[in-house]
Chain A
Amino acid sequence: KAGVTQTPRYLIKTRGQQVTLSCSPISGHRSVSWYQQTPGQGLQFLFEYFSETQRNKGNFPGRFSGRQFSNSRSEMNVSTLELGDSALYLCASRGGEGNTEAFFGQGTRLTVV
């Protein structure tokens, strides 16, 4: 059974640009969450999607957005990139209601220059 797949693994962008990251959850999983990991702030929750609906959102500016498609694949978008957006972005999938175990992908390392 394939795990959580995140693409791309590495990305370099310039300040002011926008970026889209992709996450394919484990087959059959309906919940996808996104986390940002930085040395300064640690692991911070961005948002969670379940059956194409955003169910929970962390404390991030509106530049950070996401969506989930009918096949449960999810994308997150960051517009008007800032240097501080440089981070490892992790995606996690869960089976859904009642499933407590979150499986993480290997992450996308975003560097903003």
Chain B
Amino acid sequence: AQSVTQLGSHVSVSEGALVLLRCNYSSSVPPYLFWYVQYPNQGLQLLLKYTTGATLVKGINGFEAEFKKSETSFHLTKPSAHMSDAAEYFCAVSDFGGSTLGRLYFGRGTQLTVWP
């Protein structure tokens, strides 16, 4: 079965500072990995995804993530935080090829606060 652990339920950074949100996964098959962002009272918006190929994935709004199989990690980074990045971020894993057929397993989320 798949599972996701997000280290740190709250992360605070200053505007312009590096953003690093940590995600570790567990999967019995080659994983598909995702980062989603959620603003208050909204649904989830896909930031980026890793399926196969290049392990450094670039997404929207300047975010990127690197798939590291040896560390079972998929950490999300952004070189320079902006006030508009304040939101909750969710890491998710799925296999799409197995019995779960597209089911996403989510981490508990990391609330990002950006200070001016």
Contacts and interface: CB of A to CB of B under 8 A. Distances in A.
Given A90-B43, A101-B46, A103-B46, A31 B106 contact: no
Nearest to B105: A45
B45 interface: yes
A73 interface: no
Interface in A69-113: 90, 92, 94, 100-107, 109
A94 B102 contact: yes
B32 to A, nearest CB: 5
A56 B102 contact: yes
Interface residues of A, number: 25
A21 B87 CA distance: 26
A52 B90 CA distance: 29
Nearest to A44: B106
Taking chain B's interface residues, is the majority helix, strand, or loop, or is none over half, making it mixed?
Answer: loop
B43 A31 contact: no
Contact of A100 (B43, B51, B109): B51
A95 B41 CA distance: 25
A94 B74 CA distance: 22
A4 B100 CA distance: 22
Interface string A13-39: 000000000000000000101010000
Contacts of B109: 42-43
A19 B51 CA distance: 37
Contacts of B101: 48, 50, 55-56
A104 B46 CA distance: 9
B108 A102 contact: no
B59 to A, nearest CB: 12
A33 B90 contact: no
16 contacts: A33-B102, A43-B106, A55-B102, A56-B99, A56-B102, A56-B103, A90-B44, A100-B51, A100-B96, A101-B46, A102-B46, A102-B104, A104-B43, A106-B42, A106-B43, A107-B43
